[in-house]
Amino acid sequence: MPYAIEFPIAGEQPPPLNLYRALYANLLRWIAAVDSDLATALHDRPVRKPFTLSALRQGRDGDYRWRVTLLEDALWEPLWAGAQAVGVLDLNGCTWPVRWSDARITHRSYALLLTGVRPADHIEMEFVSPTTFRAGDLDLPLPEPGAVFRSWLSRWNDFAPPDRRISTALLDVVRANVAISGHRLWTEKHDLGRSQVVGFVGQVTYVITQARRLNQALVWQLNALADYAEFCGTGRKTTHGMGQTRRMRRER
């Protein structure tokens, strides 16, 4: 059952914003405070970790916030208890208090994501942080529909209950029926400390062509994956701040 948690960060001085390795280490530290075996298992998991991490961002209220998403239920209680037990972010040896009691929490079950969608033939997405995909030994910083929906579907099937998984045949529907109808995009470098990766940032509208002629269950599944993107992120390095994604809601 995916969770998105925004933790307010206190302190007299602004925290450094883009220490992704340190943020990653803090997440494991919080979980290890409650369940060291789980923290070790997460660290050792080779690919597709069941969480994403954002950079620290300053909101309109002036507060800094750290956004963490969880894709497996088993992570929620250890993370929440660990945040309370540790109570701070340690960034390069300096600490900032975490106001965990003021955290904003969003929770959706996989069942609700799949059955509670409001199907649309236009899917408007915002890629909040640099997003890219692996193409052999290269990066592909383009919002190509097949790559985007494949990323969401692979994460869904990795973490959803078996009875809620979506057939990979949906990608054939994407190739034949999903196109970009508009975008406002640019590229940005994402500094990972030891390297930099170029990704795209901005807004993209995907249109499901001939949506009324398709099996409506497929249209529902495409929309469910777009809603899931808020939790799972898109593309590479989502545990290091990349691929933060949200669906845009507009009245038509």
Over residues 176-186, the pLDDT tens digits come to 999 999 999 99
Domain 3-107, CATH among 3.40.50.300, 3.30.70.1890, 3.40.50.150, 3.40.50.2000: 3.30.70.1890
pLDDT of residue 251: 46
Q: How confident is the model at residue 252 (pLDDT cuts 50, 70, 90)?
A: very low
Where is average pLDDT lowest: 11-15, 25-29, 125-129?
Answer: 11-15
Q: How far is CA 23 from CA 57, 88, 91, 184, in A?
A: 13, 11, 7, 30
Judge whether 169 and 176 are in contact, CB under 8 Å. no
Domain boundaries, the chain: 3-107, 110-247
| pLDDT score of 207 more than 80 | yes
Rounded-to-integer distance, Cα 162 and Cα 40, Å: 25
Token readout for 55 is 């950079």
Contact 214, 222 (CB under 8 A): no
Q: What global pTM score does this model have?
A: 0.92
pLDDT at residue 108 tops 60: yes
* pLDDT on residue 6: 95
Class assignment of domain 110-247? alpha beta
